[in-house]
Amino acid sequence: MPSLQVRDLPEDLYHQLNYLASKDHRSLAQETVVLLKESVEARMANQERRKRLLENYQGPGIDTTDFPDPVDLIREDRER
């Protein structure tokens, strides 16, 4: 199984991890793996949810044919 070494871990984060590990009756390594797994799964689920939302997005429902052409507006401003 691969291992991971974390350098320069903030002391307060270490103490929080240690507290959670003792509260959940786990070792520090076990608690870290559990928290990492939960975080990664939540992040992946959020990315998938955003992807589905973007795929199903129909747009604002505004008819853009009523808007003037931006090129014409810029040309008009330059001629002034």
Name residue, tokens 């973007």.
54
Look at the chain and report how many structural domains it folds into. Answer: 1
Q: What is the pLDDT of residue 46?
A: 92
The domain of 12 spans 1-58
Work out the widest C-alpha separation in the chain, in whole angstroms: 76
Q: What is the pLDDT of residue 74?
A: 93
Q: What is the pLDDT of residue 10?
A: 95
Inside any domain, residue 5? yes
Inside any domain, residue 46? yes
Inside any domain, residue 64? no
Q: Is the entire prediction scored with pTM above 0.85?
A: no
Residues 6+ apart with CB under 8 A from 17: 28, 31, 32, 35
Inside any domain, residue 41? yes
Whole-number mean pLDDT of the chain? 90
Inside any domain, residue 69? no
Question: 3-state DSSP call for residue 35?
Answer: helix
Which letter does DSSP use for residue 8 in this model?
S
For residues 65 and 77, which has the higher predicted lDDT (pLDDT)? 77
Inside any domain, residue 20? yes
Contact predicate 11/3, CB 8 Å: no
Phi, psi of 74 (to 5 degrees): -65, -45
pLDDT in tens, 26-48: 999 999 999 999 999 999 999 99
